[in-house]
Amino acid sequence: MATLRKLGRPTDQRTAMLRSLVTNFLKHGRIETTFYRAKETKNIAEKMITLAKRGDLHARRQVLSYVHEEEVVKNLFDNIAPKYAERNGGYTRILKTGPRRGDGAEKAILELV
Alpha helices in 55-101 (DSSP H): 57-66, 70-75, 81-83
Cα distance between residue 84 and residue 86, in whole Å: 6
pLDDT digit of tens for each residue in the chain (113 aa)?
A: 555 789 999 999 999 999 999 999 999 999 999 999 999 999 999 999 999 999 999 999 999 999 999 999 999 999 999 999 999 999 999 999 999 999 999 999 999 99
Give the per-residue pLDDT at 2.
Answer: 57
Helices 35-54 and 11-28 meet at what angle, rounded to 10? 70
**What CATH number belongs to 12-112?**
3.90.1030.10
Give the per-residue pLDDT at 5.
Answer: 87
Listed by start position, the domains of the chain span: 12-112
Measure the CA angle with vertex 49, ends 43 and 52; round to 5°: 145
Does pTM top 0.75 for this prediction? yes
Give the per-residue pLDDT at 4.
Answer: 73
